[in-house]
Amino acid sequence: MTTDAPPPPPLSKTSPGPAQPTTEQFIETQESAEFTELRHSYRSFAFPLTFAFVAWYLLYVLLSSYAGGFMGTTLFGNINVALVLGIAQFVTTFLIAWWYARHAARLLDPRAEAIKARMEGGA
Local confidence pLDDT in tens for the 123 residues of the chain: 566 767 666 555 555 666 787 888 889 888 999 999 999 999 999 999 999 999 999 999 999 999 999 999 999 999 999 999 999 999 999 999 999 999 999 999 999 999 988 888 855
Specify the number of domains making up the chain.
1
Q: Which helix (H) or strand (E) covers residue 1, if one does?
A: none
* Residues 6+ away with beta carbon under 8 Å from 70: 63, 81
**Helix count (H) and strand count (E) of the chain?**
5, 2
Quick check: is 7 in a domain? no
The SS3 call for residue 11 is coil
pLDDT at 25: 85
Quick check: is 3 in a domain? no
pLDDT at 123: 53
Quick check: is 73 in a domain? yes
Compute the C-alpha angle 74/78/80, nearest 5°: 35
Domain extent, residue 110, equals 23-122
- Half-sphere exposure in the Cβ direction for 106 (13 Å, CA): 8
pLDDT at 20: 80
pTM above 0.85, yes or no: no
Quick check: is 1 in a domain? no
Quick check: is 75 in a domain? yes
In terms of Cβ atoms closer than 10 Å to its own Cβ (0-12, 13-18, 19+), residue 74 is exposed
Q: Are 123 and 22 in contact (CB under 8 A)?
A: yes
Quick check: is 99 in a domain? yes
* Residues 6+ away with beta carbon under 8 Å from 45: 100, 103
Quick check: is 100 in a domain? yes
The SS3 call for residue 19 is coil
Quick check: is 85 in a domain? yes
